[in-house]
Amino acid sequence: MSYASAQGRALQDTLQAERTMRDRSEKTVRGLVKLLEGVIARLPSTKEATQNPKKVEKESAVKKEKEELEPLPLPPKLQTTSKKQVRGKKKPKPKKRSPEIMVKVNARIEALGDPAKNTPEGFSGSMATVLADLQKMQKSDVFVKKPPAAWQQRLSGKGRTGRDLSLAYERYWSTLWLIGRWSIVSKLEIETLIGLSNGLSTRAGSLVRASKDMVEANLLLEKSMRLSKAPSSALKIYTLSEEGKTLFKLLFKKRAVQDELAIMNEKHEGERFPDHTLAVLIFALHARRRGWATQLMPSVEGKAAPDLVILRGDECLYVEVERGQKEKSAKWTGIASLNEGTVALCAMTEKYRQRLVGDCKLLKIKAGLATDLKSLVTVRYDDIGAETALWLKKW
């Protein structure tokens, strides 16, 4: 290769190297420019960044002064309301019961029959009679809106407000009234009566809470009783404590009557014979649901000592509730004598009922009425009415 050729080749290589380096440099510069543009986009504008701080402060002061000099915005226009509308404005009404529930409640109340025009002193009225009386009391001024001052802390309503608080007080006074006026002690019967008076189809949780409040306030004494033998049945009992009796007298201006459990304990050794006591209480509440007024341990002439007397219209029957399988003949003849020749008895089971009916027939008792607790409690309590049979055997 000649010198001239070598020189030309070297020159070409040099030029190519320069072009390559220039291309690389331009590519690097383009990348840096793109990077700087991204950074600048995230920073304040050049104008804002280079403004004089004093100038910025002055402009802010002028803007603030301008805002202060501008008129205030007008207040929102009020809706016009007439005086009549203001005076007539009422609180929201409580939600009404559904039509289905009210139909069910009304059907159960109707099934109880008509209230008695008069219930003799010393009797617990039929459920229809007691319910009508309770509803009347709930509408009266006797059921005060809040407890007497000495009881307000103890019966505070447990956080209830508004209508819930008013209902709680109404249920407190209703419970006191049912026990202290009508001698009723069964939790089942008490809550059923209050529930029906409030338009409730069943014994709601709110009723249970009201009773619990009264137990915690030491106004009610609570007791559970269960039969030791067939039929399998139990009752929860509420009675007034001494403080409960005091509050009853303060509210209703009279003494509370002796309740059913106290009557059994005093007149028939109820604490000594708890099974018999409970059997009488169960029969009595079932009789009341079926339209009969009841009186436990009535005073009668002669040696017969019936467990209770029941009354409906012109019918009046002295009844013996028998726990055993057999009773002395004088017992049945004595009961029949009180009922003008008709014996009325309640056994524990159908088998014992049949046996006692046989005993009465052997004694030449020509007429009788018999039932048994097992059959009575088998019927769903809420489905019982005045037309539901109390007596299952007649002769």
Q: 129-133: long-range contacts (C-beta < 8 A, 24 or more apart)?
A: 129/293, 130/178, 130/182, 130/184, 130/193, 130/288, 131/193, 131/196, 131/197, 133/181, 133/182
Angle at CA 368, nearest 5°, toward 363 and 373? 110
* pLDDT, tens digit (0-9, with 9 covering 90-100), for 228-247: 998 999 999 999 999 999 99
Q: How confident is the model at residue 64 (pLDDT cuts 50, 70, 90)?
A: low
- From CA 291, how far away is CA 150, in angstroms rounded? 39
- Map tokens 């709601």 to a residue: 204
Q: How confident is the model at residue 23 (pLDDT cuts 50, 70, 90)?
A: confident
Tell whether the model's pLDDT for residue 51 goes beyond 90.
no
* pLDDT, tens digit (0-9, with 9 covering 90-100), for 275-301: 999 999 999 999 999 999 999 999 998
Give me the chain's average pLDDT, please. 86
Measure the CA dihedral 155/159/164/167, to 10°. Answer: -10
- From CA 252, how far away is CA 182, in angstroms rounded? 13
Tell whether the model's pLDDT for residue 45 goes beyond 60.
no
**Region of poorest pLDDT, from 22-26, 182-186, 195-199:** 22-26
The fraction of the chain above a pLDDT of 90, given in percent, is 66
- From CA 73, how far away is CA 274, in angstroms rounded? 82
Which pLDDT value is given to residue 9?
A: 73
**Across residues 355-371, what is the average pLDDT?**
96
Q: How confident is the model at residue 383 (pLDDT cuts 50, 70, 90)?
A: very high
Tell whether the model's pLDDT for residue 379 goes beyond 70.
yes
Q: How confident is the model at residue 46 (pLDDT cuts 50, 70, 90)?
A: very low
Give the residue ranges of DSSP H helices in the chain: 3-41, 46-49, 53-69, 83-87, 99-111, 127-138, 162-182, 187-197, 205-216, 242-252, 260-267, 274-289, 329-338, 350-362, 373-378
**Across residues 151-165, what is the average pLDDT?**
91
Which pLDDT value is given to residue 68?
A: 45
- From CA 218, how far away is CA 352, in angstroms rounded? 41
Which pLDDT value is given to residue 201?
A: 66
Which pLDDT value is given to residue 202?
A: 66
Q: Which residue has the higher pLDDT, 89 or 306?
A: 306
The CA–CA distances, whole Å, from 246 to 190, 213, 251 equal 20, 17, 9
Closest to 289 (Cα-Cα) out of 179, 180, 193, 211: 193
Closest to 162 (Cα-Cα) out of 94, 83, 88, 210: 94
Tell whether the model's pLDDT for residue 157 goes beyond 50.
yes
Please tell me the pTM assigned to this model: 0.75
* pLDDT, tens digit (0-9, with 9 covering 90-100), for 28-43: 777 777 777 776 766 6
**Across residues 140-159, what is the average pLDDT?**
91
> Packing angle between helix 99-111 and helix 187-197, nearest 10 degrees?
120
**Region of poorest pLDDT, from 100-104, 299-303, 323-327, 363-367:** 323-327
- From CA 323, how far away is CA 351, in angstroms rounded? 12
**Region of poorest pLDDT, from 90-99, 103-112, 175-184, 343-352:** 90-99
Which pLDDT value is given to residue 303?
A: 81
Tell whether the model's pLDDT for residue 69 goes beyond 50.
no
Tell whether the model's pLDDT for residue 84 goes beyond 90.
no
**Across residues 105-119, what is the average pLDDT?**
94
